[in-house]
Chain A
Amino acid sequence: MIALLTRDLRLALRAGGGFGLGLAFFLIMAVLVPLGVGPQPATLSLIAPGILWVGALLACLLSLDRIFALDFEDGSLDLLATAPVPLEAVVTIKALAHWLTTSLPLVLISPVLGLLLFLPAEAYLWLILSLLLGTPALSVIGTFGAALTVGLKRGGLLLSLLVLPLYIPTLIFGAEVVSRGAMGLSVGTPLALLAGITAGSVAILPFASALVLRINLR
């Protein structure tokens, strides 16, 4: 289990592992938006929560198809499915590795990008907290999508179409937490709903992912 996690982390960090792709995308987006929208702090601080959340979501989406595709191509997935590790655990570890290599760096860099977008000072805490609470759901839902599309050649398009609707509730409540935080309003309700989405998907989706993976490996 730990071996699988360390292997995935090591693979992500070595050449060609795709680590930093999401991060670079997030960075580019946050740099380009002020150039496109114009430098007025009032406009930017208004849209900053939404932009940051949409950017994090798309950056996360970008690396989803790698979760299983590489292991499928080189045959490791077949071998892992016959190994004495439950497939549910494999799926969970894969989602965790994706979160650690893609989402966590996004969370860590988001305050810096908030600065670029004139995010109001009182919103920073809520930005980090909402991303920390919400991105695990993005990774787990994305792993489910990756499991659904694993055998398909160039399944990335289908994967995005399948996963995007499932991402919408997370996006809405996540961005809502930051917007309300920026306006100094209470954030309890959207934060609780965000945590609920994450808890629910972490609890249920690994089983669904393992099931579709078994079907796809036939």
Chain B
Amino acid sequence: MSLAVTALACARGGVPLLEGVSFALRPGAALVLRGPNGCGKTTLLRCVAGLQPALAGEIAAAPDAIAYAAHADGIKATLSVAENLRFWAAIYGTTDIETALERMNLRALADRAAQNLSAGQKRRLGLARLMVTGRPVWVLDEPTVSLDMASVALFGGVVRDHLARGGMALIATHIDLGLPEAEVLDLTPFKAQLPAAGSGDFDEAFL
């Protein structure tokens, strides 16, 4: 049960962004991805989550191991907090939403419709979804956006507990999550060399 990425290259909108990215995660480890805006953090995470194919390289992960959390939280506005969580739990074949509600400090909001939550509360709900998936590898894309300091600390604790139980986390973030033990990978050196104009494959324009 681990995640290994070897010589990965990925592209966004037909433009290669990253190449030669390699890293490995063993149970209990976290890796923080850093890099300036537009350097390809989200693209790399979408590749790892299986949402888009890699240009080159290999991603070795156990099947059905990855839980992905994107910029958008996947929350239905007209459903309550508990209904949203219960839906994702059912999709992942788990039943326990109480722990997630408790740990992300959503207990008091459980019956409130998601449309009446603040941005930070929505984010907490989106992150609570990870806890009901029961999957070992968390792939997180800027999980702390719109969270206050207390909630960042809360989430840092949740990630640490997940790691302590043998989980793994791959996190793209700009701020300090309070995980000193996590390795940091700066993506800047892996920037893909853009192919010279006109040398590209002709049908690329139509794909």
Contact = CB atoms under 8 A, between A and B. Distances in A.
Interface of A: 2-4, 7, 10-11, 14-17, 73-76, 78-85, 217-218
A79 B68 contact: yes
Contacts of A10: 79, 83
Interface of B: 49-53, 64, 66-79, 83, 86-88, 90-93, 129
A73 B73 CA distance: 10
Given A3-B91, A81-B51, A75 B74 contact: yes
Contact of B74 (A16, A74, A217): A74
A83 B78 contact: no
B53 A218 contact: yes
A82 B78 contact: no
Contacts of B49: 82
Given A79-B70, A217-B51, A218-B53, A85 B76 contact: no
A218 B51 contact: yes
B74 A7 contact: no
23 contacts: A3-B90, A7-B76, A7-B79, A10-B83, A11-B79, A17-B78, A73-B72, A74-B73, A74-B75, A75-B71, A76-B74, A78-B70, A78-B72, A79-B74, A79-B88, A79-B129, A80-B74, A82-B49, A82-B66, A83-B91, A84-B91, A84-B93, A85-B91
B73 A75 contact: yes
Given A7-B79, A84-B64, A78 B74 contact: yes
